[in-house]
A and B are shown apart, each in its own frame.
Chain A
Amino acid sequence: MSANSPEQPRIGVDEWVASAAERRARTLAGRIEEIGERTPAAVKLLALALPFAVFPLLVDSSYLMQVGIDTLIFVLLALGLNVAVGWVGLLDLGFVAFAGLGAYLYAAVASEYAGRHWDATLAIPAVAIAVAAAGFLLGLPSRRLVGDYLAIVTLFFLQIWLVVLINASFTRGPNGISNLHPLEFFGRPVTSLDGLYYVALGAFVLVVAFLYLLNRSRTGRAWRALREDELAAELMTMPVNRLKLMAFAVGAGIAGVAGALFAPVQGAVFPANFDIVILITVYAMVVLGGAGSLVGVTVGAVVINASLEALRDPDDASWLFYAAVVVTLILLVRRPWWMPLTVLGGTIVFGLVVHEVAEQVRPSLVGGVPVGQARIDELVDSWVLLPEDIVTADGLPTGAFGRLLYIGFIAAVLGLTLIRHRVWRVVGLVPVLYLAAVVWENLLLPQPAVARYVLIGALLVGLMASRPQGLFGKLRVEIV
């Protein structure tokens, strides 16, 4: 497609803008989209649920089943958050408080502590409605607020929610409420992991179907109009305040369902189950997948939760990290095709040279032992600098060297993004990649529990700067 052929309109002129949809239809992404448009909704829903449905048939470890249940609950949370954030464009930072509320309400209707035992067919809808009502109430003072004020009110609300949970006597403080009754459907308790998994899957299918229909409805269209331009929507006689409250309530209700499923799965609820860490994790899921897209949000939640699980174990974490580095590299320097290979080769050679020099000059720089036990760590040992005693047994840096290394690495990454010249950028990538490996092996890998959240934070910032629409979302431009 040449830009100066006579029949092609010049980029930016009205004809070019008018034919944008036509041009998009011709690209691969456009064709996939078109197929998506034409497929009946029921088929799409089946296609989305199928991988989840066959998952239990493929695995036979209770650990993986547990991860599967957690993932489905996270998917529900991400879908709920997507209503406010993706469809309406309201930054709701109190969202996970509603999940916590759902979990505690389940404890209030089905535990020994409360002395009640409701059937799940009654408890879950009741909890969902109660939490939606709570979302409505929190929305009331917030509905007049534009994005940023809303964010702070809801964030503060989350903080208050945690304060109340930890300090109030009726929630039993940090000890939480344990010995919850299992989910019971028509008197039959569901206790096996497989059973719980399918219950969560059923909830997922129902929620996705509900959200799909909602998005296609008059309300869904009004929400999107509101997101694009609140003032214009109001002029079109849309009840802006009521729409915002509805979005809050619907999102909160879905979070309530997630919480009400989470509580009996864990068998207990604690204040720390739904805190800011979970909030930001769920945000990362929505943003990675693409805010506004049901498929995107689902995929984002699965990818993030699976990665977080993998990062628990140093051996899996290493594989994941190096795979992620290679993928990022390919995304950064796609063309020409041999460029990623050259950079990769250059990094390996660079590392070998640095390692050799360090070994000759100061052997203590390579005297450490790798954290993991996998085969990759043997390779790492002869390539990455592993200074002796850079971290303590707990994984904390022993002195200024480790900390400066970390800060220097971040500065190097940020500095690299400032280089405009293409060649220097690629050249600079080599030492930065090597530095990334050094920081990873020495500082992040010894503390996987913290490292995973560092990576989530970096992912959020990096995504917003490079691809704010996420994997499946559509790029939006704010009209000023």
Chain B
Amino acid sequence: MDWDKLVQLLVNGVTLGSVYALVALGFSMVYGILKLLNLAHGDVLMVGAFIGWGVLGWLGGAQDPSVAVWILIVLMVLAAMAGCGVLGVAIERFAYRPLRRAPRIAPLISALGVSFFIQNSMLLLFGADFRSYDSFDLVDVEVGIEFGPLRVWVVRLVVIGAALAMMIALWLLVTRTKLGKAMRATAIDREAAAMMGIDVDKVIVKTFFIGSALAGAAGVLVGLVFGQINHFMGFGYGLKGFTAAVVGGIGSIPGAMFGGLFIGLAEALSVGYIEDLTRGRLGSAFSDLVVFLILVLFMLLRPQGIFGKPEVKKV
């Protein structure tokens, strides 16, 4: 057994998983409140990655940043969060709100259109080439913390830490603040919440802002760890973030965190081992297949996810 490889894969999995968890949170919050699958969520992440890249370039680039590195990273994340939050609110206002009373399928088709529009707009403005964060110039790959035989690059730790911090902040927001209470009430029953004096539209707008801001932050974190971004990257993160939300239980914050980790680890481990296990018949690209099978299994056996409660249909 090659322990170094296993530990390396676990670290990869946790990094990937914390990104998926952030995406899953956005999906989960929006789904909880609107019962709407925001298919454009992955593309919001992609826009966030581009905003971070823009800030990086504007502040001198990775080779020669004009501010301290940690300030630069914080600025990139904040800019992406603000930009994506506004984008999310705009998507809600113009693509979903007019369709609140339309048949269920209408906002989904609209979401499909939004996703396609954002992707191709970015393709139009930035081209199909991959853009690089050049993170290795930003933070030397040797800088890290030793875990036994393995040195973990500090950027990975920053990503995991940032994701964790944001999840805790969100959890506090949802459980301890008035807005959180309003969000929970709206998720349980929108009409009843409105009758209790909650401005449901405002709650929905804020939910979209927060969810999209998390996706934007996730986009910058992806760029930092994996370096390369392009206009189509959001698709894969969207799919897996949603899978994570389903596995954890849609509507549940700990569920999204757990589901994200689970999917991240499953993907990293299958990337590492699928070739050995199938005697070279399936390459690492087939890790997507593993994630898909997990999704299908959960949908069949436990559609409410690990932390979710089974949905009771009201008539």
Residue numbers of A with Cβ under 8 A of B are 85, 89, 91, 93, 141-142, 144-145, 147-149, 151-153, 155-157, 159-160, 163-164, 166-167, 231, 276, 280, 283-284, 287, 394, 396-397, 402-403, 406, 410, 414, 417, 443-444, 447, 450-451, 453-454, 456-461, 464-465, 468, 476-478, 480
Contact = CB atoms under 8 A, between A and B. Distances in A.
A478 B90 CA distance: 25
A31 to B, nearest CB: 27
Contacts of B315: 231
Contacts of B242: 152
B178 interface: no
B286 A163 contact: yes
B125 A461 contact: no
A287 B108 CA distance: 12
A156 B116 contact: no
Given A91-B109, A163-B286, A153 B299 contact: yes
A464 B39 CA distance: 15
Interface in B115-144: 115-121, 123-127
A156 B117 contact: no
Nearest to A462: B113
Task: With a 10 A CB-CB cut-off, give which of A93, A163, A444, A457 has the most chain B CB atoms.
Answer: A457
Contact of B109 (A283, A456, A478): A283
Nearest to B285: A167
Given A155-B239, A231-B315, 13 more contacts: A141-B300, A145-B303, A159-B292, A160-B289, A163-B289, A280-B113, A450-B123, A457-B113, A457-B117, A461-B117, A464-B98, A465-B94, A465-B99
Contacts of B106: 464, 468
A414 B124 contact: no
B244 to A, nearest CB: 12
B112 interface: yes
29 contacts: A89-B105, A91-B108, A142-B299, A144-B299, A147-B105, A148-B31, A149-B246, A149-B303, A152-B242, A153-B296, A156-B243, A156-B291, A159-B236, A159-B292, A166-B285, A280-B116, A414-B90, A443-B124, A443-B125, A456-B116, A460-B113, A460-B116, A464-B95, A464-B99, A464-B110, A465-B94, A468-B103, A478-B102, A478-B104
A156 B239 contact: yes
Given A394-B127, A443-B124, A276 B235 contact: yes
B295 interface: yes
B99 A159 contact: no
B90 A461 contact: no
Which of B113, B242, B246, B286 has the most chain A CB within a 10 Å cutoff? B113
Which of B117, B126, B313: most chain A CB closer than 10 A?
B117
B101 interface: yes
Contacts of B110: 460-461, 464-465
Given A163-B285, A276-B235, A406 B295 contact: no
A142 B154 CA distance: 42
Given A287-B109, A460-B110, A461-B113, A151 B121 contact: no
A450 B121 CA distance: 8
Nearest to B110: A464
Contacts of B289: 160, 163-164
Interface string B26-44: 0000010001110100000
A155 to B, nearest CB: 7
Contacts of B124: 406, 443-444, 447, 450-451, 454
A276 to B, nearest CB: 7
Main secondary structure of the interface of B (DSSP, over half): helix
Interface string B273-315: 0000000001101101101100110011001000000000101
Nearest to B314: A231
Contacts of A478: 101-104
B189 to A, nearest CB: 12
A170 to B, nearest CB: 11
Contact of B102 (A451, A461, A468): A468
Nearest to A88: B105
Contacts of A91: 105, 108-109
A359 B93 CA distance: 38
Contact of B113 (A144, A153, A458): A458
3 tightest Cβ-Cβ pairs between the two chains A and B: A460-B113, A457-B117, A457-B116
Given A148-B37, A156-B239, A163-B286, A414 B109 contact: no
Contacts of A152: 37, 239, 242-243, 246, 295
A142 B35 CA distance: 18
Given A155-B239, A163-B286, A453-B116, A85 B105 contact: yes
B94 A414 contact: yes
A232 to B, nearest CB: 9
A153 B295 contact: yes
A403 B125 contact: yes
A198 B118 CA distance: 39
Given A153-B296, A159-B239, A447-B124, A464 B109 contact: yes
Nearest to A458: B117
Given A159-B288, A465-B95, A460 B109 contact: yes
Nearest to B239: A156
Contacts of A280: 112-113, 116
B48 interface: no
A146 B81 CA distance: 32
B107 interface: yes
Contacts of B295: 152-153, 156
B125 A402 contact: yes
Nearest to A443: B124
Interface in B34-75: 35-37, 39
Contacts of A468: 99, 102-103, 106
A152 B245 CA distance: 12
Nearest to A394: B127
Contacts of A406: 121, 124-125
Given A156-B239, A406-B124, A443-B124, A141 B105 contact: no
